[in-house]
Amino acid sequence: MKLSAQQMKSLPYFFKEITDPRRSHGTRHRLETVLSLAAAAILCGMCGYRSISGWTKDLSQLARARFNCRLENKKYIIPSESIIRDVLIRVDPIELDQALQKWNEEYGSIDESLAIDGKTMCNAIDKNGRQAHIMSAVGHQSGQCYTQKK
Protein backbone atom coordinates (compact mmCIF):
# COMPACT_ATOMS: atom_id res chain seq x y z
CA MET A 1 0.00 0.00 0.00
CA LYS A 2 1.21 3.50 -0.76
CA LEU A 3 0.28 6.19 1.74
CA SER A 4 -0.84 9.64 0.66
CA ALA A 5 0.40 12.78 2.40
CA GLN A 6 -3.01 13.12 4.09
CA GLN A 7 -2.88 9.53 5.37
CA MET A 8 0.61 10.13 6.80
CA LYS A 9 -0.46 13.35 8.49
CA SER A 10 -3.58 11.74 9.94
CA LEU A 11 -1.94 8.70 11.58
CA PRO A 12 -0.48 10.53 14.63
CA TYR A 13 -3.92 12.02 15.37
CA PHE A 14 -5.46 8.55 15.76
CA PHE A 15 -2.76 7.48 18.26
CA LYS A 16 -2.91 10.59 20.51
CA GLU A 17 -5.27 8.99 23.05
CA ILE A 18 -3.17 5.84 23.61
CA THR A 19 -1.56 5.58 27.04
CA ASP A 20 2.23 5.86 26.83
CA PRO A 21 3.78 2.88 28.72
CA ARG A 22 7.18 4.60 28.95
CA ARG A 23 8.48 6.81 31.73
CA SER A 24 8.19 10.48 30.83
CA HIS A 25 11.79 11.18 31.89
CA GLY A 26 14.14 10.91 28.92
CA THR A 27 11.43 10.25 26.32
CA ARG A 28 12.65 11.79 23.05
CA HIS A 29 9.98 10.68 20.59
CA ARG A 30 6.23 11.14 21.03
CA LEU A 31 4.29 7.88 21.31
CA GLU A 32 1.96 8.82 18.45
CA THR A 33 4.97 9.41 16.19
CA VAL A 34 6.56 6.04 16.93
CA LEU A 35 3.24 4.21 16.48
CA SER A 36 2.46 6.12 13.27
CA LEU A 37 5.81 5.27 11.73
CA ALA A 38 5.43 1.60 12.68
CA ALA A 39 1.85 1.40 11.39
CA ALA A 40 2.77 3.09 8.11
CA ALA A 41 5.75 0.78 7.60
CA ILE A 42 3.55 -2.27 8.19
CA LEU A 43 0.88 -0.91 5.82
CA CYS A 44 3.65 -0.59 3.22
CA GLY A 45 4.60 -4.25 3.64
CA MET A 46 7.37 -4.19 6.23
CA CYS A 47 7.59 -7.13 8.64
CA GLY A 48 9.72 -7.09 11.78
CA TYR A 49 11.45 -4.39 13.77
CA ARG A 50 14.53 -4.21 11.54
CA SER A 51 12.53 -3.69 8.34
CA ILE A 52 10.25 -1.14 10.05
CA SER A 53 13.33 0.75 11.22
CA GLY A 54 14.90 0.54 7.77
CA TRP A 55 11.72 1.90 6.19
CA THR A 56 11.71 4.88 8.55
CA LYS A 57 15.39 5.62 7.81
CA ASP A 58 14.54 5.84 4.10
CA LEU A 59 11.85 8.50 4.64
CA SER A 60 12.52 11.94 3.24
CA GLN A 61 12.63 14.95 5.55
CA LEU A 62 9.19 15.98 4.22
CA ALA A 63 7.70 12.57 5.04
CA ARG A 64 9.29 12.66 8.52
CA ALA A 65 7.67 16.06 9.07
CA ARG A 66 4.27 14.62 8.11
CA PHE A 67 4.65 12.00 10.85
CA ASN A 68 5.50 14.75 13.39
CA CYS A 69 9.04 13.51 13.95
CA ARG A 70 11.20 15.48 16.36
CA LEU A 71 13.05 18.45 14.85
CA GLU A 72 16.71 18.68 15.89
CA ASN A 73 19.29 20.96 14.24
CA LYS A 74 16.87 21.66 11.36
CA LYS A 75 16.48 17.92 10.60
CA TYR A 76 13.65 15.56 11.48
CA ILE A 77 14.91 12.67 13.62
CA ILE A 78 13.36 9.20 13.56
CA PRO A 79 13.28 6.78 16.49
CA SER A 80 15.80 3.95 16.59
CA GLU A 81 14.95 0.29 16.06
CA SER A 82 15.20 -0.33 19.83
CA ILE A 83 12.72 2.48 20.58
CA ILE A 84 10.29 1.14 17.99
CA ARG A 85 10.61 -2.37 19.45
CA ASP A 86 10.21 -1.14 23.04
CA VAL A 87 7.07 0.85 22.22
CA LEU A 88 5.43 -1.93 20.19
CA ILE A 89 6.11 -4.53 22.88
CA ARG A 90 4.81 -2.35 25.74
CA VAL A 91 1.87 -0.44 24.23
CA ASP A 92 -1.63 -1.57 25.23
CA PRO A 93 -2.77 -3.80 22.33
CA ILE A 94 -6.46 -3.03 22.89
CA GLU A 95 -5.91 0.73 22.70
CA LEU A 96 -3.72 0.28 19.63
CA ASP A 97 -6.31 -1.94 17.95
CA GLN A 98 -9.08 0.61 18.61
CA ALA A 99 -6.99 3.44 17.16
CA LEU A 100 -6.13 1.40 14.06
CA GLN A 101 -9.79 0.48 13.57
CA LYS A 102 -10.76 4.19 13.68
CA TRP A 103 -8.07 5.03 11.12
CA ASN A 104 -9.20 2.12 8.92
CA GLU A 105 -12.84 3.28 9.07
CA GLU A 106 -11.75 6.59 7.60
CA TYR A 107 -9.13 5.45 5.09
CA GLY A 108 -9.62 1.72 4.53
CA SER A 109 -11.21 0.27 1.44
CA ILE A 110 -14.28 -1.92 1.50
CA ASP A 111 -13.60 -5.55 0.64
CA GLU A 112 -16.15 -8.04 -0.61
CA SER A 113 -14.71 -10.83 1.53
CA LEU A 114 -12.34 -11.32 4.46
CA ALA A 115 -9.76 -13.97 5.32
CA ILE A 116 -9.29 -15.01 8.94
CA ASP A 117 -5.72 -15.91 9.89
CA GLY A 118 -3.94 -16.75 13.13
CA LYS A 119 -0.31 -16.37 14.20
CA THR A 120 1.80 -17.08 17.26
CA MET A 121 3.84 -14.01 18.17
CA CYS A 122 7.53 -14.71 18.77
CA ASN A 123 8.95 -13.20 21.98
CA ALA A 124 5.51 -11.90 23.05
CA ILE A 125 4.87 -13.48 26.44
CA ASP A 126 1.81 -12.63 28.52
CA LYS A 127 1.61 -12.23 32.32
CA ASN A 128 1.15 -15.97 32.76
CA GLY A 129 4.26 -16.86 30.74
CA ARG A 130 2.34 -18.01 27.64
CA GLN A 131 3.07 -16.94 24.07
CA ALA A 132 0.56 -14.55 22.56
CA HIS A 133 -1.65 -15.81 19.72
CA ILE A 134 -3.24 -13.28 17.36
CA MET A 135 -6.24 -13.71 15.06
CA SER A 136 -6.64 -11.24 12.18
CA ALA A 137 -9.35 -10.39 9.66
CA VAL A 138 -7.76 -9.36 6.35
CA GLY A 139 -9.52 -8.09 3.23
CA HIS A 140 -9.04 -10.28 0.14
CA GLN A 141 -8.97 -7.44 -2.37
CA SER A 142 -7.04 -4.81 -0.40
CA GLY A 143 -4.85 -6.99 1.82
CA GLN A 144 -5.68 -4.63 4.69
CA CYS A 145 -6.03 -5.91 8.22
CA TYR A 146 -9.42 -4.88 9.59
CA THR A 147 -8.89 -6.12 13.12
CA GLN A 148 -6.63 -8.25 15.29
CA LYS A 149 -7.54 -9.95 18.53
CA LYS A 150 -5.36 -11.71 21.04
d(CA 17, CA 35): 12
Segment of 51-60, 109-118, 121-130 carrying the highest mean pLDDT: 51-60
Find which of 45-54, 106-115, 125-134, 135-144 is predicted with most confidence, using mean pLDDT.
45-54
Q: Are residues 39 and 97 in the same domain?
A: yes
| Whether residue 55 is found in the same domain as residue 97 | yes
33 shares its domain with 47? yes
Instruction: Summarize the confidence of residues 117-141 as an average pLDDT.
Output: 77
**Mean pLDDT of all residues in 3-27:** 86
Per the structure, the complete domain to which residue 139 belongs is given by 111-150
Shared domain check, 99 and 126: no
Residues 73 and 20 placed together within one structural domain of the fold: yes
pTM of the model: 0.72
